[in-house]
Structure 1
Amino acid sequence: MKIKSSLGSKLFDTFNVIFMLLICFCALYPIWYVLIHSLNNGFDSAQGGLYWWPRKFTWDNYKEVFRNNEIITAFFITIARTLLATAAHVLFTAMVAYAFLKKELVGRKVYMTMGLITMFFSGGLIPTFIVIKTLGMFDNFLVYIFPVMFSFFDLIIFQAFFRTIPEALEESAKIDGANNFTIFARIILPLSKAVIATILLFNGVFNWNDYFMGIIYTNNQDLHPIQTYLYKIIMTSDSAKTSLMAGSVSQTNFTSTSLQMATMIITTIPIVCIYPFLQKHFVKGMLIGSVKE
C-alpha cells in the first residue's frame, strides 16, 4: 500500500531539487563559460556577449596551444612532476606512518610532537628558499619532488587507517619469518587501497595545479610546469588586450585570453578523467576514523 506524501513534503522535495540544481548550475557554468570561449574566435570573444554557445566556432586556440613548444614542454614537466612527486609522497609518508605506529621506535613521542608543531607553524618562505638553494635544488627538477615528499597531516590519515588492520595479520607474518619491510609491502599496502587512493587524489591535484613553486624556485623556463606557464599568460593578457584595443591587426583567430581559456580546459581534463576511477575509494578514505567499530 502506497503512502501518499503530504503537500508540505512535496513542496520540501521540490524546493530541494530546485536548490540543488541551482548549486550545480553555479558550479558548472564557470567551466562551461571557459569552454565556449576556448572554442570561439578570440577576437570575436573580445567583443563580449558570449554566454551560452560559441558564436564563431574554431579549433585555432587549441591548435595554437599544441603548436607552442614551450607549452608542450610545460605539459611534460607537469606530467612528470605529478607522477613522480605523488608516488614518492604516498610511499614515503606511508612508510613513516607505519614506522610511527611501532611502540618500540626510539623517540617516537618526540617525533610525533615535532610533526604536530609543523602542522601549525612553518619556517616561512625565505628560510625555505634558503634551504632549497643551499641543498642545490634551485633551478632543479628535484625541487618538485623532495620538498613535498612528506606531510604530517597525511601521516595522521595513514595511521588512522593502519590501526583498522588486525594486528594478528602482522603477528602471523612475523611467525612465518617476514620482517617489517615485507609486512609493509605485502600486507599493509595491498589492504590500504582506499586511503592510498585518497592521498593520491589530494596530492595529484595539488601537484598538477601548483604554479607557485615554478615561480619561486625556478628561473629556467624549461622547468616551468603548465600552471606556471598559464600564470604567465594571465599576467601578460592585459598588455595583449591593450594592443588589441589600440587597433593592432592580426591574421590569427586567437588572442592571449582565448589561449588562456584553451589552456585552462586542457589542464583540467586529466583530473576530471581520473577522478571517477578513484571516487569509490575516495569516499571510503574520507570516512577513515569517523566511525568506531
Structure 2
Amino acid sequence: MNRKVAKEDIDSRVFDTLNIIMLFIFMVIIIVPVWNVIISSFSSGKALAEGGFIFWPKEFSLENYRAVFRDETIWQSFFISISKTLIGVITHVFFCAMVGYGLSKKYIRGRKLYISMGVITMFFSGGMIPTYLLIKSMGLLDSFWVYIIPALYSFYDVVILMNFFRNVPDSLEESAKIDGAGDWRVFLKIFIPLSMPAMATIALFNGVGQWNDFMTTKLYITDQALYPLQMKLYEIIVQSQTQSMQNIGGSAIIETTTKGVQLATIVITTLPIVVIYPILQRYFISGMMLGAVKE
C-alpha cells in the first residue's frame, strides 16, 4: 500500500514538473515577442534600422509615440474605438441576455424552432456580398451604427447565457413573482445580478472583438472621421509596404521610421485591453450564486 502511494506521489510530481516546464516554455514564447514589440517602440529610428532582436531600448526615444500622437486624427480614431466598444458591449450583452432569458423558459411557444434557427446561424452565414447588400439596404453604410446593430446578436453567447439562467433556482423566481414582481423585474433584479460572471466573460470577448475589428470599417466605412484605431494601424502598415513614411498628419517625423510608428501604434491599441482584462478576470472565478439559496 505504501509503495502504491509513493508511486502515485512520484507520478504526480513528474506530471507537475512537466506541466511547469511546458507552461514556462509557452509563457516565454508569448512574452518574448510582446516584450520585443514594446521595447522596440521606445527605440530610435536608427536602432530599428539596424534590425535584429532588441531586448532593451537602443538609443531610448519617445519620438515614435510623438509621431503617432502628432496626427490629429488619431484622437478621433481613439474616441471612435472607445465609443463603439463600450456601446457595442453593453447592447450586445443586454440583447443576448434578453434572448437567453426567454429561451431558458421551457413554456415558451416555438422555443425549439427558435433554438434550431439559432444553431443554424452558428454554422452558416449569407456570405460577404449578401451581408453587404443587407447593410446597404438598412442605410448603415458610412454610419457609426454599422458597428453596433449587426453585432447585437450572437447565438453562441445566447446559448452560454441560456444555460447559465437554467441554473438559477426556480424558487428565487417563484418567490419574486409571489411578491408581485413581473418578468422584467425578475430579469433585471435577479437574473442579471446572478449571471454577472457569464456576462462579464461575454463582455470581455465581445469587447476584444469590437476593439480589434477593422474589417467592418474596411467594408462599410469610407468616411475617415469614423475610422477606429485599428483602421489607422492598418493604414500605417499598408502605407509602409508601399513607401517610406515621411510624415503623418502633415508633420515631419524626426528620428523615427515607419516600423517605429507601427510598433508604437500597436502598443497604444493593445494597452486598453491589457488594462481591462485583469479587472474583469475576477468574474471568471467568482461564484456569485454560492449561498444565494439554501434549501
TM-score w.r.t. length of structure 2: 0.87
- For residues 262 and 222 of structure 1, what CA distance do their matches in structure 2 show? 21
* Coordinate RMSD, CA, aligned: 2.3
One-letter amino acid of the counterpart of residue 136, structure 2: K
Partner of 2:265: 263
Q: How far 1:10 moved relative to its partner?
A: 6.7
**Aligned residue among 42, 62, 69 for 1:59:** 62
Partner of 1:290: none
Cα–Cα, structure 1 residues 25 and 131, in superposed 2: closer, same or farther, change >3 Å?
same
Asked if 1:30 corresponds to 2:33, the answer is yes
Give CA deviations for 1:17-68 in whole Å, capped at 9, x if unaligned: 4432221110111111111111011233022134211111101111221221
Q: Superposed, which structure 2 residues align to 1:133-172 within 5 Å?
A: 133-172=136-175
- For residues 101 and 13 of structure 1, what CA distance do their matches in structure 2 show? 40
8 Å CA contact retained: 2:36, 2:55 = yes
Partner of 2:108: 105
Q: Superposed, which structure 2 residues align to 1:167-178 within 5 Å?
A: 167-178=170-181
- For residues 152 and 115 of structure 2, what CA distance do their matches in structure 1 show? 17
One-letter amino acid of the counterpart of residue 65, structure 1: V
- For residues 279 and 245 of structure 2, what CA distance do their matches in structure 1 show? 44
Cα–Cα, structure 1 residues 190 and 14, in superposed 2: closer, same or farther, change >3 Å?
closer
8 Å CA contact retained: 1:41, 1:57 = yes
Partner of 1:43: 46
Partner of 2:291: none
Asked if 1:114 corresponds to 2:114, the answer is no
Partner of 2:282: 280
One-letter amino acid of the counterpart of residue 109, structure 1: K
Q: Secondary structure at the match of 2:193?
A: coil
Structure 1 stretches of 4+ with a deviation exceeding 6 A read: 3-12
Give CA deviations for 1:157-211 in whole Å, capped at 9, x if unaligned: 0011101100111111111111111110111101111101111111011001111
8 Å CA contact retained: 1:240, 1:256 = no
- For residues 11 and 38 of structure 2, what CA distance do their matches in structure 1 show? 40
Q: Secondary structure at the match of 1:123?
A: coil
Q: Secondary structure at the match of 1:58?
A: coil
Asked if 1:127 corresponds to 2:164, the answer is no
- For residues 21 and 110 of structure 1, what CA distance do their matches in structure 2 show? 47
Unaligned 5+ runs, structure 2: 247-251, 288-295
Cα–Cα, structure 1 residues 36 and 94, in superposed 2: closer, same or farther, change >3 Å?
same
**Aligned residue among 235, 253, 256 for 1:254:** 256
- For residues 46 and 186 of structure 2, what CA distance do their matches in structure 1 show? 61
Q: How far 1:240 moved relative to its partner?
A: 3.1
- For residues 111 and 17 of structure 2, what CA distance do their matches in structure 1 show? 55
Q: Secondary structure at the match of 2:237?
A: helix
Deviates more, 1:234-243 or 1:9-18: 9-18
Cα–Cα, structure 1 residues 11 and 173, in superposed 2: closer, same or farther, change >3 Å?
closer
Q: Superposed, which structure 2 residues align to 1:185-264 within 5 Å?
A: 185-241=188-244, 252-264=254-266
- For residues 105 and 10 of structure 1, what CA distance do their matches in structure 2 show? 52
Cα–Cα, structure 1 residues 51 and 8, in superposed 2: closer, same or farther, change >3 Å?
farther
Q: How far 1:89 moved relative to its partner?
A: 0.2
Cα–Cα, structure 1 residues 135 and 241, in superposed 2: closer, same or farther, change >3 Å?
same
- For residues 284 and 212 of structure 1, what CA distance do their matches in structure 2 show? 35
Aligned length, in residue pairs: 277
One-letter amino acid of the counterpart of residue 260, structure 1: Q
Q: Secondary structure at the match of 2:142?
A: coil
- For residues 253 and 151 of structure 2, what CA distance do their matches in structure 1 show? 44
8 Å CA contact retained: 1:240, 1:255 = no
- For residues 105 and 16 of structure 2, what CA distance do their matches in structure 1 show? 51
- For residues 194 and 11 of structure 1, what CA distance do their matches in structure 2 show? 34
Q: How far 1:241 moved relative to its partner?
A: 4.1
Cα–Cα, structure 1 residues 153 and 7, in superposed 2: closer, same or farther, change >3 Å?
closer
